[in-house]
């Protein structure tokens, strides 16, 4: 792998890392805004105490469900990324093994030749 390719890979990893960080911040902001907006809307609305409590419970469950969906989605994305990384590493390992085999073969030929010469001399 050339130096330029390594630099490009590092740059791409940093871009992805920054993008994921921005997505996490945006998601947290949206979730916080939803919670604050829901609470403010429920408390400002002219309803009785029981109705307000029921609304708070309902909205809380909705937010909880939305958070659980986001968590499941994130788990799926992490698993998918993990699988891609494993696949990439396995591929790299196979490539490395193939390169080592090519490098070892000439050494084995030399050793076999030396053994054959020793057997003919004896």
Express each pLDDT in 36-57 by its tens digit: 887 787 777 777 778 878 888 8
Average confidence (pLDDT) over 89-106:
67
Identify which has the larger pLDDT, 11 or 97: 11
pLDDT at 95 over 80: no
**CA dist., res. 32 & res. 55, Å (int):** 18
Residue 121 has pLDDT above 60, yes or no: no
pLDDT of residue 109: 47
Query: Three-state secondary structure along 37-72?
Result: HHHHHHHHCCCCHHHHHHHHHHHHHHHHHHHHHHHH
Q: Of 77 and 43, which is predicted with more confidence?
A: 77
Could you give phi then psi for residue 103, rounded to 5 degrees?
-75, -30
Token pair in block for residue 30: 């949206």
Cβ pair 30, 67 in contact under 8 A: no
DSSP 122: -
Cα Dmax for the chain? 107
Mean local confidence (pLDDT), 85-109 = 68
Q: Provide the H-helix boundaries in the chain.
A: 3-44, 49-121
> What percentage of the chain carries pLDDT values higher than 90?
3
């Amino acid at each position: 792998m050339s130096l330029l390719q390594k630099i490009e890979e590092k740059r791409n990893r940093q871009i992805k890392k920054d993008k994921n960080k921005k997505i996490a911040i945006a998601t947290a902001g949206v979730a916080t805004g939803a919670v604050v907006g829901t609470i403010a809307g429920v408390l400002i609305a002219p309803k009785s105490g029981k109705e307000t409590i029921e609304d708070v419970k309902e909205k809380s469950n909705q937010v909880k469900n939305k958070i659980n969906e986001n968590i499941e989605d994130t788990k799926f994305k992490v698993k998918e990324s993990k699988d891609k990384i494993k696949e990439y590493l396995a591929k790299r390992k196979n490539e490395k093994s193939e390169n080592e085999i090519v490098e070892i073969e000439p050494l084995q030929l030399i050793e076999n030749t030396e053994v054959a010469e020793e057997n003919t001399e004896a």
